[in-house]
Structure 1
């Protein structure tokens, strides 16, 4: 393959070796920061300084051709991230419905076996230490009695949960997943900057990073003996099962706040990778001090829950009463010992930066050991002596909030003017408890590839300790590297940072455990027994309805525009039917003049509103609105959709919105652009339908999707025929053809009936034919079959029975009161079909989604 960038990187460098090229490369790092590639502190003239052994090995594995193709590899990486739908959303973006692609750099951070051994030992020690602190804070509280921890820092913290006092978690393990943020200092020492214990993020993203980067550098990844990750994930799940109340048979679920959360991608990704059920709070309920999952088949017990939301949102009965994310009574289940919750609620005080300053003494008391990984020097300003000591040093310090309620973002003293420093000092004197001060550490800088050259970026490494049994942890051999934007001092994804993979090299054997290989038989069994939650079933049901609704709306919009744009406007019956159908399906507002009054105004109104959002003032459910609703519904069941399926849905919604941007301007000639936009969306919807039909497991979730789709089809097509009869559209050639086109049956009709345009032919193809997927008989037959497979056959009793339909009865016309011909039996059948679709939808909602037919039980 020809590289996309010029292979002239070596043209000005005679030795030609990739590692020698890296030595000579200009890497303009910030002075005083450790350069990861050179293993030395950046100085004014660092070019030509030897690079470290791991980086030399990395570049040699690439070879000349590999270095020349770095631009192409970058493009491939970005394409892979887009195709895989990897996103990270700040909350401001999520409220706008926008998704940001995950930012991933091409080069990994390299950790030598010696460095990793030191990190691993220090992290394991800290996991044991934090677990011991949790046990003490909610048990004997000896640390408070001995003044090793200030009471105000613990009991004054809003995250200290008195409701957890006296609780003993399964296996005495409070923290199943702990994350530590590490910085590599100029002295070569790794320092702990912070820790995350409530719901640490990153386990899914770092896995995606590893897969993506290893694919770009397969030779280097294998040759450098990079340790694999799968065994640690497997150990986490096995450890939870060992400690859960039901042991090896425990059902484990992953609790997510939902698709608007900034890290929702990794929630769905982790659930799929680990074979867990992804649930939201309203999927779960508490009965008799036990936790249950609401499924289509009833309540199923949940024995272990990995949570991805902070503690305060977990239980609206005992914590935040305004939380709609949690489960009422969850803490009661914990106190009864009927659930393993990872992590155990109440760890928020451990996340406070102020705690770091007290850990050395606590480690000596609880473990009898000195900390192997030091923390940055940290002072809690709630202690008067500490406050007085740090005020003169603010210029060379970092100011942080002690509690979440402080509402303070991290502030670096170097970035402040003298007047700003004085203002901060005043705030700290007025509210000392709310402020924590940490010494400033220049973050090490790792090489990245940007604009066809090496560029240094300040980096912070997040590593994870995962519990593999009672009071036992292992450290995931790797981590999530966060890179600060160029010229910035803080590495944070919320502030525009990016990420990198972390390669931990080993001197021993590389672990080749794979959750996708060795556990294949287990995963197969898990898929067979995978429960369908009521929430997932409802979203799949509406996913089917919105898919069908979008297809019908697009097909109708195209028919309207094709008949109204041009010299031949169509028969009056057809024009009246098109007006009624467009208004019935909310493609135009009720106050728009009908197509008979002004075809151009009517068509222009339809085009202008194609992508219009619905609101209280303009309740128009446009094509764009339906496509966005389709996307929003799919987001709630993303763990059940293939990546290709999700990509098609996203492309359909965003692509149609983009195509419609120019349609609001006045075009007097024709509506070609609008028709092209509709055609593009139609093509993508055909692919979406293919994904739903051919690439989804035929479980009850898929059946709900199919049932939703066919209910929508039955209601829409029944109403279309009903309006066609009301407006005498079936008597006109163009009206007859338009109705057949709306049923997407034009080719079939002409192939079977040639030029016949009579009621018998229409009834045969669009009503009675059990081989035509657009006929009413086929739709009802399919609905009956889906309902029977979903064990809801009794709900089909309200549907009309196609076996009782007779051509002679339906095609027999009578004279109405005004002397006009009418097909009374056919009209009654259409009304019955339409009403039955609405009744079936309501029954499904009542029985399976809202469970409104079941008596509510108190916790």
Structure 2
């Protein structure tokens, strides 16, 4: 049953709704109210449901929304505010659009996408529009998005523009108008999908009963279209090309790659050879057929476009020219984002379609036109000023927000470079119900929606990304200006039918587990190493805290040994190896620094931040549970800063326990949930290599020097505590703590998962499963074999013997093992990880380049 028809039969009193929860607008257009101040029928069910929920329940849903987004790792970076909260912001009240209005919007957007597709073909084809004087030559050729090397490059099929995005705003008369077009690498579709996923979880009944059109069909059509673009035959290998983790929308890139089932790559992961694009995978080069790019086109090829770019692939444009790779959207499509085109779009539409567009654009003036320039300069205070070419640091401004001095400065700037600016009529947009400060308040909104090319035309996403400003004083709605998002519900009159778009005669390719870029496995490898490094350091610090806080005072020699072990194991020199007696008398500040100082190399915090950074680089490889635990690590580290405040310092070893437990949860998830592919092997190798090195370092620091029996017992006990082996030791040996038995438990007990021999055995299994490493003659395999053999051939009794206060045999063995294991780790990096430098400019003098 449709809830809206039920409400029509038993209508909710609009007065009750607006008095309790959402007031009627005092001025302007409102999405929820008609021109006569009555609640629109399709909003009644939602507002009635919110009224039934009440304030506390809505606030609780908002908290759940934030928590889910955080657990999903949903972020958005605001460039001008690097220290601001980067979590993606979703308001819990959606924007509603009824079915009848959406049909009109959808038809208009299909028409607009078709027009821009024809426009793109003309610009990089015959350029009839320029020859006929419909588009001024200066408008096209002065734009940085017009790329001459892209002339006559064509994709398969009739549609060159694969994705089209449009920013829609509701005008004062209630009609929809287009503010801007996004054609280069339209962002926001992935965030719209994440918003929908979250809203479906937070308001399951409301979502289900509202009969909201699904978004999944849009992404199915996108996936299908990308496969159809394959120029090389067979099953396409498709990749998503991202600029990397510092891009504001990196979460979306990783999210879409996972959802669509494609590999996320950076420019350094790809290479051009023999006229094709290849992905550098562990088991060799893999040909890439289709690239869904999220890199601005000017950065995509340092050979023919921007010479100092590190984000692209040298030679990519030539491969596209040969027709051996399909790029969506095609390089050069950013020229269509020039807002000056809106000024001439009616004439362009008549020339290419033979009719006016159904949905008009916001009125636009291009300052390259002399009449427009004079109008803009005279009316600057009432207009929206935009650059014709978007780039970081250069944003649109609203004249009403500027004082007279700034207005004059802008006028001078525009007159100096008139070709580079447009002005638009300011359209505030319709107010929409928005949850803010415990109330539902009206806020102006902008909707971005998307169209994807299909076999015959375009398919429009039934919904999109709605954005609002919570601050009423902000007039420009933009994510980079701190706007928040909303889900967009297009309401069906009846439940939507389930439709499958999977071709019946094809099966998805079985991708090799080794088909990962070497950059990905390198980050997984170091992610394992950093995690283990941090955990080992915390175990040692916790053990030392326990020993220092015992009832009986430790002998000075033992205390000095324990403290210097912290410095040696964490490599936070000079630390406790210095001759300052004050450090030994009051060691806690130095220990806390080793835990919390993020800027200190070797500290727990520094290693954890490095681990999180590595995890961010491979976000698409991690499950949502793993992402949640990584977020918890950051939270626990923040809590640790509070727990280890000098004024509140009590039982500091207990304060470390939650963070250690969270790291154990991370290790458990990796072991129990991660597919046993190359990525898992490299992460586990990183853990095992690092744990082996930490064991060796700890033993060298604590047990090589000989002490009296009582003092020696404390150090052996500390070694066992660090390796979680004290309780098993006591069960196994009933005759007290002895050096030979302790060494046997830590070094040679193959049943102890934290023993040295166990790490080497596990590494041997991982080495055997690596690509091209099934023999025993690789460098790392030889080094591991030598280390394992040396350890197995060692005699515990001999290692425990002392001469001149030193266990020389033990120190010699541990030193040799440290060298072999460390060298094996370096050999893995040299063999499997790509350290190639990006392309370098032969000449870097900008003035010289300007004269080319």
- What's the TM-score, normalizing by structure 2? 0.90
CA contact (8 A) 1:814 1:821 kept: no
Query: 2:661 aligns to what?
Result: 683
Query: 2:6 aligns to what?
Result: none
Query: 2:843 aligns to what?
Result: none
Matched, 1:740 2:726: no
Task: Decide whether aligned partners of structure 1 residues 144 and 695 sit closer, same or farther in structure 2, where only a CA change above 3 A counts.
Answer: same
Q: CA deviation at 1:350?
A: 1.2
Query: 2:734 aligns to what?
Result: 754
Query: 2:299 aligns to what?
Result: 313
Task: Decide whether aligned partners of structure 1 residues 326 and 350 sit closer, same or farther in structure 2, where only a CA change above 3 A counts.
Answer: same
Query: 2:7 aligns to what?
Result: none
Aligned residues: 819
Deviations 1:185-225 (A, max 9, x none): 12121100001111111111101111222333333433332
Task: Decide whether aligned partners of structure 1 residues 806 and 58 sit closer, same or farther in structure 2, where only a CA change above 3 A counts.
Answer: closer
State the SS of the aligned residue for 1:660: helix
Deviations 1:625-666 (A, max 9, x none): 11111111111111111222222223223432442257465x
Q: CA deviation at 1:308?
A: 1.2
State the SS of the aligned residue for 1:91: coil
Q: CA deviation at 1:401?
A: 1.5
State the SS of the aligned residue for 1:375: coil
Query: 1:35 aligns to what?
Result: 30
Q: 1:87 aligns with which of 65, 69, 75?
A: 75
C-alpha distance in 1 between matches for 2:166 and 2:180: 6
Query: 1:76 aligns to what?
Result: 64
Q: CA deviation at 1:852?
A: 7.3
Matched, 1:578 2:562: yes
State the SS of the aligned residue for 1:491: coil
Correspondence 1:484-503 to 2 at 5 A: 484-487=469-472, 488-503=474-489
Correspondence 1:261-660 to 2 at 5 A: 261-404=247-390, 408-418=394-404, 420-469=406-455, 472-487=457-472, 488-507=474-493, 510-513=496-499, 529=513, 531-565=515-549, 568-586=552-570, 588-590=572-574, 593=578, 598-614=583-599, 620-660=601-641
Task: Decide whether aligned partners of structure 1 residues 568 and 594 sit closer, same or farther in structure 2, where only a CA change above 3 A counts.
Answer: farther
C-alpha distance in 2 between matches for 1:315 and 1:512: 42
State the SS of the aligned residue for 1:549: helix
Q: CA deviation at 1:526?
A: 5.2
Task: Decide whether aligned partners of structure 1 residues 172 and 754 sit closer, same or farther in structure 2, where only a CA change above 3 A counts.
Answer: farther
Deviations 1:471-505 (A, max 9, x none): 73210111100112231322111212111111112
Matched, 1:768 2:748: yes
State the SS of the aligned residue for 1:106: strand
C-alpha distance in 2 between matches for 1:238 and 1:284: 23
Deviations 1:560-614 (A, max 9, x none): 2333346644345533432332221346431654587752333322223422133
Deviations 1:409-466 (A, max 9, x none): 3222333445544443343333322221111223101111234432101000001011
State the SS of the aligned residue for 2:93: coil
C-alpha distance in 2 between matches for 1:57 and 1:166: 52
CA contact (8 A) 2:431 2:445 kept: yes
C-alpha distance in 2 between matches for 1:351 and 1:462: 14
State the SS of the aligned residue for 1:315: coil
State the SS of the aligned residue for 2:459: strand
Matched, 1:245 2:231: yes
Q: CA deviation at 1:508?
A: 6.1
Larger displacement relative to structure 2 (159-168 or 54-63): 54-63
Larger displacement relative to structure 2 (599-608 or 197-206): 599-608
C-alpha distance in 2 between matches for 1:225 and 1:546: 47
CA contact (8 A) 2:432 2:442 kept: yes
CA contact (8 A) 1:314 1:330 kept: yes
State the SS of the aligned residue for 1:501: strand
Task: Decide whether aligned partners of structure 1 residues 493 and 252 sit closer, same or farther in structure 2, where only a CA change above 3 A counts.
Answer: same
CA contact (8 A) 2:643 2:649 kept: no
CA contact (8 A) 1:573 1:728 kept: no
State the SS of the aligned residue for 2:681: helix
C-alpha distance in 1 between matches for 2:254 and 2:653: 36
Task: Decide whether aligned partners of structure 1 residues 601 and 406 sit closer, same or farther in structure 2, where only a CA change above 3 A counts.
Answer: closer
Matched, 1:258 2:244: yes
CA contact (8 A) 2:242 2:265 kept: yes
State the SS of the aligned residue for 2:782: helix
C-alpha distance in 2 between matches for 1:230 and 1:392: 48
CA contact (8 A) 1:564 1:599 kept: no
Query: 1:796 aligns to what?
Result: 781
C-alpha distance in 1 between matches for 2:829 and 2:212: 51
Task: Decide whether aligned partners of structure 1 residues 596 and 777 sit closer, same or farther in structure 2, where only a CA change above 3 A counts.
Answer: farther
Deviations 1:218-265 (A, max 9, x none): 334333322111111011111111121134600111111112221111
CA contact (8 A) 1:463 1:479 kept: yes
Q: 2:95 aligns with which of 79, 87, 109?
A: 109
CA contact (8 A) 1:810 1:823 kept: no
CA contact (8 A) 1:353 1:402 kept: yes
Q: CA deviation at 1:63?
A: 7.3
CA contact (8 A) 2:445 2:477 kept: yes
State the SS of the aligned residue for 1:105: strand
C-alpha distance in 2 between matches for 1:85 and 1:457: 27
CA contact (8 A) 1:18 1:63 kept: no
CA contact (8 A) 2:229 2:290 kept: no
Matched, 1:696 2:674: yes
Q: Which runs of 5+ in 1 are unaligned?
A: 1-14, 41-45
C-alpha distance in 1 between matches for 2:511 and 2:451: 28
- What's the TM-score, normalizing by structure 1? 0.89
Larger displacement relative to structure 2 (418-427 or 367-376): 418-427
Correspondence 1:36-185 to 2 at 5 A: 36-40=31-35, 49-60=37-48, 64-65=52-53, 69-94=57-82, 99-185=85-171
Task: Decide whether aligned partners of structure 1 residues 734 and 595 sit closer, same or farther in structure 2, where only a CA change above 3 A counts.
Answer: farther
Q: CA deviation at 1:135?
A: 1.1
C-alpha distance in 2 between matches for 1:162 and 1:789: 48
State the SS of the aligned residue for 2:586: helix
CA contact (8 A) 2:278 2:286 kept: yes
C-alpha distance in 2 between matches for 1:513 and 1:750: 64
CA contact (8 A) 1:577 1:727 kept: no
C-alpha distance in 2 between matches for 1:642 and 1:594: 48
Task: Decide whether aligned partners of structure 1 residues 596 and 782 sit closer, same or farther in structure 2, where only a CA change above 3 A counts.
Answer: farther
Correspondence 1:147-226 to 2 at 5 A: 147-226=133-212
Deviations 1:304-358 (A, max 9, x none): 1111121122112222222221111111211111111111011222112111111
C-alpha distance in 2 between matches for 1:64 and 1:584: 62
Q: CA deviation at 1:174?
A: 2.6
C-alpha distance in 1 between matches for 2:485 and 2:100: 24
Query: 1:6 aligns to what?
Result: none
State the SS of the aligned residue for 2:144: coil
Query: 1:9 aligns to what?
Result: none
CA contact (8 A) 2:55 2:439 kept: no
Q: CA deviation at 1:173?
A: 3.0
Deviations 1:143-200 (A, max 9, x none): 1111211222211111211111121223253321111000011212110000111111
C-alpha distance in 1 between matches for 2:601 and 2:198: 43
